[in-house]
Amino acid sequence: MPDTAAGPAEGAAAPAFTMAASSGRTVSSADLAGKPYLLYFYPKADTPGCTKQACGIQEALPQLGKIGLTVIGVSPDPMKPIEKFAAKYNLTFPLASDEDHKVAEAFGVWVEKSMYGKTYMGMERSSFLVGADGKVAKVWRKVKPEAHAAQVMEAAKGL
């Protein structure tokens, strides 16, 4: 059996998902069938790195939209803080709640982290660019929030 903890590799089929998202939306891989999308995982709504990353993606949305790319942000937060985060920064793309981290586990981004000598489980800042064929075209692990939108733009042009 393949090691799912590592998540899907480039060229592999993206795991299926359905999650509640901001503005009363639901996002699912079934609804995205035949369309390219970016699923980006971030640790916590309204923290400095996550805000930089989300605002960078929001700024790039017009260009990403021109190339037909749907963007979905995913965090382990409940919907209430996600809705506040989306409203505070006028984020129009869906921000999904993965409270039980089933989607994060399927993508291999629910990982052991450590801070101040304590280890805990948390979301690794990672992104998966999925082509219209449902296969993972590009994987970014331990994403740098500031540079991420530009990296996505560049990779998405090749879809």
Structure-token pair, residue 139: 């994987």
Closest CA to 122 of 17, 2, 41, 15: 41
Q: Which residue of the set 21, 32, 38, 50 is catalytic?
A: 50
DSSP for 99-147 reads TT-HHHHHTT-EEEEEETTEEEEEE--EEEEE-TTSBEEEEE-S--TTT
Q: Is 50 a catalytic residue?
A: yes
144/125 Cα distance (integer angstroms)? 8
Q: Catalytic residue positions? A: 50
